[in-house]
Amino acid sequence: MGGFRAASPLLSGAGAGAESDPRPAAAAPRVAMACVVASEVATVLAVMRRNVRWAGVPYGGGGRDGGGGDELLGHPLIAGLKSLRRRAASWGGTCRWRDEVDPLLYLHPFLDVVRSDETGAPITGAALLSLHKMLTLELVGPSAPNVAEAMGAIVDAVTGCRFEVTDPASEEAVLARVLQVLLASVRGRAAPALTNRHVCAIVSTCFRVVQQAGTKGELLQRVSRQTMQEVIRCVFARLPDLDTTVVADDKVRLATLNCICADTFVLQIGSCRNKGLGAEEIENGRSDYVCLNNSGDEVGTASGIVQDKAMMEQFGVPCMVEILQFLCSLLNIAEDIEVNPRINPIDFDEDVPLFALGLVNSAIELSASSIHRHPKLLAFVQDELFRNLMNFGLSMSPLILTTVCSIVFTLFYHLRHELKLQMEAFFSCVILRLAQNRYGASYQQQEVALEALVDFCRQKEFMSEMYANMDCDLQCSNIFEEVANLLSKSAFPVNSPLSALNVLASDGLIAVLQAMAEQTINAPRHHEQTVSEINEYFPFWQLKCESNNDPDQWVKFVNQQKGIKRKLMVGVEHFNRDKKKGFEFLQGAHLLPEKLDPHNVALFFRHTPGLDKNLLGDYLGNHDEFSIQVLHEFARTFDFKEMNLDAALRLFLETFRLPGESQKIQRILEAFSERYYEQSPQIFVNIDAALVLSYSVILLNTDQHNVRVKKKMTEEDFIRNNRRINGGNDLPREFLSDIYHSICRNEIKTIPEQGAGCSEMTFSRWVDLMWKSKKTSAYIACDSCPYLDHDMFSIMAGPAVAAISVVFDNVEHEEVLTRCIDGFLSVAKLAAFYHLDDVLNDLVVVLCKFTTLLNTSYIDDPVTAYGEDTKARMATEAVFTIATTYGDHIRSGWRNIIDCVLKLHKMGLLPAHLTGDTADDQDSSESLPSKLASSAATPPVLPASVPKKSYGLMDRFSQLLYYDAEEPMSQPSEEQLVAQHNALETAKKCELSTIFNESKFLQADSLSDLARALVQAAGRPQKITSSLDDEGTAVFCLELLITVTLNNRDRIVLLWQGVYEHIAHIVQSTVMPCNLVEKAVFGLLHICQRLLPYKENLVDDLLRSLQLILKLDARVADAYCENITLEVTRLVKANATHIKSQMGWRTIISLICVTARHPDASDAGFEALVFIMSEGSHLSPANFVLSVEASRQFAESRLGSTERSIHALNLISDSVNCLMWWTREVKEAGGEANRILEGIAEMWLRLLQALRKVCTDQREEVRNHALLLLHRCLVVDGISVSSSTWLMSFDIIFQLLDELLEIVQNYSPKDYRNMEISLLHAVKLLCKVFLQSLGDLSAHSGFGKLWLEVLDMIEKFMKVKVRGRRAEKLKEAIPELVKNILMVMKASGILSKASTSENSLWEATWLQVNKISPLLQLEVFPDNEGDKETQGEQNKLDTPAQSDRNAEQ
């Protein structure tokens, strides 16, 4: 046998190679195939000859030899084999094996050997091996003649295999080869030729072998189970290729495989274990036969099997349904199997269902995607298969539970659209029940359930579809909410360290959040749809979605349903407290009609979860007419078709608690009996029969399950109690017996569980579920768009953040930490996307705590500690990722973020450019004063008086470099250096500068909160000195605040008030120079400089803020005056055209004026003033007087040179040109010219006043130059000066002259040198101005008084003594000046005897003139002219021009 078998592979290989050879020579394949057949025949014959029965050797004499040999040679088995050998050799010509030779011709001899009970195990095994080889070499091809008969014959022969047992080893070998042949039958290309019956036979035979292998070797056990797995896979792998119309109209009798297999298998298992086939019989010296098909005759000829049309067709859906039915029945049979003593009962209890579930799993994995195309298969999966999965879902075995969850997961993936309520039941009654430890589940069960739940959560559409189909369905549980709450609670460790379950639950939450976050990319914003309120009642229980494929339709539908469901839940709470208030609320919400009707109330009771079942039972049992109507309507909501009475009663009583009062019980049972009789009239003749039996069932239930009842009712008692109740006749004994045993095994719970979910799935509840599944709304498939994620995220955000935070806080594994960070970032993304700012801010607060940057405890080496803390660094990166990405939605969280930034700053981990200006401001920063520029470019430094602490890496390296070599110091270890490097890298990755430099993109509310956080973080000390402990923090916050302000110039209105108040507090609280006030002052100037060109409406506010500089403490102002002036100069040069208001100019010029008295800043201040006043380019009515006054102060300042003072005076004098221009423009423009001209005249007077003040300067050059300029400004032409204005100008002149006289008389000549010249200039100024204004003043009523005052002043100057003696120059010049005036007055007719009636001016004039020079009257009015008549007005001369000519003379 060994030699033949060794040669077979060579022949088969040659045959395969020859057959695949594309050459035209056809003889090679034929010879090869013939060789294969011949080889296998020879092998089988050789094995047979090894047995004495078939060896052909006679036992006695020669005569018997011949006879015995002839008889042996004529045996049908040997004859058939030898005949096949001859025929195979003779086949030739054009014959083609696969297409023309009937396979039965070369299969029958081998099949006969397999079926024969005369052969032993080795012979049968050899024949089976030959069949296996022919099938694997595909000698039986799909196109062969009579292939169906051939494949059927193979299956029939192998499944009916009979052989004589000689030893256990050979028996196991035969069984293994049986499995090989059966597997090859369903695996080969000819497998489609098999019929449904044959496939069922293959499965049943494989199972028999599996059962028989239980008492055999471990190898056979493993091989048999694996083979059956492969057979199931091969069968169900064909489902996707089946045509859905093949079996659409055929009816498959559901009991076929159960009749063939299930009951037979129970007998088979029992017989195999009771008989103990194998070793025991061998030891007793007896030989026996093995027949795989104990009921073989029944398989071939049983009534209804062969004749079943569907089972005789080519295999397809019918056999698959039967196989699944068999596997489900196997799950139930396992409970009743008698366990062999040699098998561990626990292992067997787990082994049998686990094996069956494994087969189901294999079948579902390969066929689930196509099951929905086959209604019969789908119906079985929906009902029986899923019900069995529910039952085994609560198994104590983790392996069984895992397998069940795997099957359900596969079904969910492919068939969730057809398994809506089944999935809800599985999650409610299995997953959620086991995953919660309060229901008594073991740790292993919790772990498996939670793992399964997390697998579901990793499906991106799972939670969305659960919410849409369950939470938004009025009759379903809130699966989404329950799952989210379960995962959140399961992440919290309870009185123990963090466990794998906690981490697993957090993984589920994170998976859900990440899936939702990814969906925000496809954002149609359907979540923003508003659902209209219900204004009137409508039958919403029957509401259906118009289109499940149109998101606009189904999103509106589910949102409406969810709104109704929320109100219903509120109504339930009210009802459970007070029925009347509950109805009132529901009527007010239009969920019940204004006038209650029994039908709608019954629907509310039937379909609303969470109702108090005690209250419901009492209400339904009430005797009032309305309650009775509600009760009957409530009963009509049940479907009791094809349901036993006990099952119907269980279902009915599970919805409420049966009251204790007999009358209420009677009313309730009457309603139940009426409904049951209505749907099952074939059992009872009237309603009374159903009512009596219902009562009897209730009594039996109490009798059997009440511990107080000692003597239990027997079956006979129950049957006897129910005699003649069916219209005087007895009910069928079997019917009553079934009810009795059902009640005994399973109690009817008259006190059902409160609540909606997490209760066991009873058979009655399952029947009700199947009835509801036919009426429930269609399953809604959610694609990758976040239609409902807004509401979902709102529900789970808070608990999810808390759960992930707990895990993050208690775990150290970096991979878990990374997943938690991903979860946090997903929450941030969702919160920002759906504008849930509170969620985002709470998340920021949580993460900031994990950074450890907010810890107030002292750490000796904070940088190293931070660098070694991976969790803290990861949290830090997450915080600032959120801040830079979703800053628009951060509100209160900014304070925590700023605190983290400050801590990083104190640790020295932030880059120097963190608060750099924006790109468009780099040019301006280059021109800053050196001190200020260096301050802006470097990180804040602590004051010199404060010992500097070494926080950062650079500080540490500096210490290492500059410490005294003799001083002992500790070198940082390699671990410390790595930690410090990690800390620096973390700070670099955070990109903190982006928060402030890109703050212009923040929303208004977020920007305001950011600025407010910076102000709060900086603090508000009452008194700031140079020794402020946390000055570095305040300076850093101020820099950040200024950066934010500069980057938001378009929205400065949002920030300005807070920024101004903060800087004002710093300025007003500072009494000594320090870095903080310096940053505040120059930051304020920088803000004004940057914003003035862009914000015309804020120019005044910005410039008004600069008044804070004027309020600086004197010591502070003195320290920074020069740089302040430089900044003001830059501001003026850049923004002079933007300053329009007088207030703004007053502020600017006030700052300039301050510098006039400062030795270092005066030059820069004067430069700014020159820029304003030079050529009047930037002078305006708003700043004219202010500028003139500022020039006066610089002219009077002794800090600058005399040339600068003279330059300042020239600026004042030149500004008169502006007055002349403005006057000309006003006259040309017309309109309200007088008022404007008066204003110009007023400015002229202010200019004169300014010059007057400088005319008394101690410096001779400045004083004399001021007098000359004053003269020039007084006699300027082009300014409209009224007579009253002239009079006021003379007041200025008189004041000047009085001051000069006082200086001469009271001050030392050393202080005021050459005053005589100044007095001469002054008296000339008086005379010339009087002549200039004579024409305007002569007609004025006060002219006489003015004239006398002029003469009086001239008299004073005439008499003044300089250095103790009269001034000769004045004495010489004054008479001539007075003479010129008198001559002009004479010529103009102003001075004459006839000029007035009383001639008072004439007399007063000469009275005064004579005091000055007595000879002037004669010179002006000689005697011959004294009596002449005064000339008239028509002879008046042009006195101003004439006086000028006289002055020149």
Catalytic residue list = 661
CB 140 within 8 A of CB 103: yes
CB 80 within 8 A of CB 109: yes
Beta strands in 890-931 (DSSP E): none
Strand-pairing partners, residue 1024, are 1070
Buried b (16+ CB within 10 A) or exposed e, 1005-1032: ebbbbbbbbbbebbeebeebebebebbb
Q: Which of 932, 930, 909 has its CA nearest to residue 853?
A: 909
Distance in Å from the first CA to the final CA of the chain: 160
Amino acid letter, residue 32: A
3-state secondary structure of 548: coil
The Cα 458–Cα 456 span in angstroms is: 5
3-state SS, one letter per residue, for 1005-1073: HHHHHHHHHHHHHHCCCCCECCCCCCHHHHHHHHHHHHHHHHCCHHHHHHHHHHHHHHHHHHHHHECCC
CB 381 within 8 A of CB 411: yes
Region of residue 969 (phi > 0: left; psi between -120 and 50: alpha; otherwise: beta): beta
CB 382 within 8 A of CB 419: yes
Which residues, in sequence order, are CB contacts of 80 under 8 Å at separation 6+?
Answer: 108, 109, 112
Half-sphere exposure of 129 (CA within 13 A, CB side): 21
- Which sign, positive or negative, has the C-alpha torsion 1022, 1027, 1032, 1036? positive
The Cα 414–Cα 397 span in angstroms is: 26
As given in the structure block, the two tokens for residue 708 are 């107080």
As given in the structure block, the two tokens for residue 274 are 């009771």
As given in the structure block, the two tokens for residue 988 are 């670099």
The Cα 422–Cα 45 span in angstroms is: 58
Half-sphere exposure of 492 (CA within 13 A, CB side): 13
The Cα 972–Cα 968 span in angstroms is: 13
Backbone angles phi, psi at 458, to 5 degrees: -75, -10
The Cα 834–Cα 450 span in angstroms is: 29
Backbone angles phi, psi at 770, to 5 degrees: -65, -35
As given in the structure block, the two tokens for residue 1348 are 């006398």
If residue 33 lies in a helix (H) or strand (E), which one and from where to where?
helix 27-49
The Cα 1184–Cα 1219 span in angstroms is: 9
As given in the structure block, the two tokens for residue 1261 are 């050059």
Buried b (16+ CB within 10 A) or exposed e, 168-207: bebbbbbbbbbbbbbbbbbbbebbbbbbbbbbbbbbbbbb
3-state secondary structure of 910: coil
CB 475 within 8 A of CB 772: yes
CB 1327 within 8 A of CB 1374: no
Q: Which of 398, 438, 451, 195 has its CA nearest to residue 310?
A: 195
The Cα 356–Cα 755 span in angstroms is: 34
3-state SS, one letter per residue, for 55-115: CCCCCCCHHHHHHHHHHHHCCHHHHHHHHHHHHHHHCCCCCCHHHHCCHHHHHHHHHHHHH
